[in-house]
A = this chain, B = another copy of it.
Amino acid sequence: MVESRRVTLKDIAKSLGVSVNTVSRALADKDSVSEDTRAKIKAEAARLGYVPNSMARSLVLGSAMTLGLVITNPSNPFYAQLISTIEQRGRTHGYSLMLLVTEESPEVDRKAAETLLRWGVDGALVVPVQGEGEHWARLPESGIPMVCLNRDFPALDLDFVGVDYHHASFQATRHLIEGGARSLCLLEEDLPISPVAERSAGFRKALTEAGITSSEDPVISVPTRRRESLALPWEPADAYRLAQDIVNRGDLPDAVMVGNDYFALGVYRALTEAGLRVGDDVLVGGFGDHPFSAYLSPGLTTVRLPAAEIGTAAVDLLLQRIRGNDGNAVAEKRRERCELVVRASSRASKGTTT
């Protein structure tokens, strides 16, 4: 392989004795080029193996034809699906995807905003690392539309597309209550993010409506040791330990909700090891409908997150903003409804598979 320099318009022009300009227009299928020269030019371009230079094109056109996607952890199946959907839909519209992974690090999150700014992406979809995060305001300020994914960032008045966790949590909790649960708890990850807050609120609302009260806070924060390996978004072992504590403490709830299906794995184990039967002795409900959830025994009742819908809606909203068909419209907050998938973990007196 002769590290041959890339073929440019100039090469084609020179080889054919025409101007660069003509070549450009011929290849772009503009009129004002005779059919004859156009054919010659295309043939020569093919012969030489010409590949347009997207960078040069973007520079002059002022559009990167690229979308930025900022994700905390691709190993979260929900985000993995988001990545697929977004890449696919963006590609359909001619956009390439620049992916940044923040691993819940505020520092990396800040740098991600900077990187997107430098590349001048046409728009950005971001799952913000919450807490601080004012740096994200820089994109809209620079005229780069952005929409928050899954995690809302009310302080910044940005477009948002995510899950209606409040409603889903309320619904799932009520389902458990209707199944006979009178004492419940919710295990949540220990991150100051909107999904956690919304699930907690929905959970509490269901308890209140049912007239269930408790002396202790029924929402329990699971101290999570983020894994350096990035193999898991959540560590079942953390929930396992906590569930063991609850079991040992003696005041066992009738039902346990968990903020994600991974926690359910830990809860299942703790209960099983204590000789308790999930679905009979304790109902369990989760979030995510992760691939394994249907195959646990008993099958896990869980909230299916509409990842594809969210990814699609987010891209579409972003493209709309990019095209500027909407003036400086007010920020849109879109929360997609979920489906509760009922399986044996919430059906007392059945307790086998699915």
Residue A114 at the chain B interface, CB threshold 8 Å: yes
Contacts of A58 in B (CB 8 A): 55
Residue A129 at the chain B interface, CB threshold 8 Å: no
Q: Contact: B118 with A53, CB < 8 Å?
A: yes
Residue A254 at the chain B interface, CB threshold 8 Å: no
Contacts of A44 in B (CB 8 A): none
**Smallest beta-carbon distance A154→chain B, Å:** 18
Q: Contact: B119 with A55, CB < 8 Å?
A: yes
Q: Contact: A143 with B353, CB < 8 Å?
A: no
Interface residues on A, range: 35 or more
Contact with B along A61-84 (1 / 0, CB 8 A): 000101001000111010011011
Residue A320 at the chain B interface, CB threshold 8 Å: no
**Bound-complex Cα distance A59 to B232 (A):** 38
Residue A273 at the chain B interface, CB threshold 8 Å: yes
Q: Contact: B272 with A353, CB < 8 Å?
A: yes
**Smallest beta-carbon distance A20→chain B, Å:** 16
In the A-B complex, the 4 residue pairs with the smallest Cβ-Cβ separation, listed nearest first, are A292-B292, A265-B295, A99-B99, A84-B230
Given A6-B120, A98-B99, 13 additional A-B pairs, CB 8 A: A52-B118, A54-B119, A55-B64, A59-B59, A75-B81, A75-B291, A80-B80, A83-B99, A96-B98, A97-B100, A229-B308, A265-B292, A290-B292
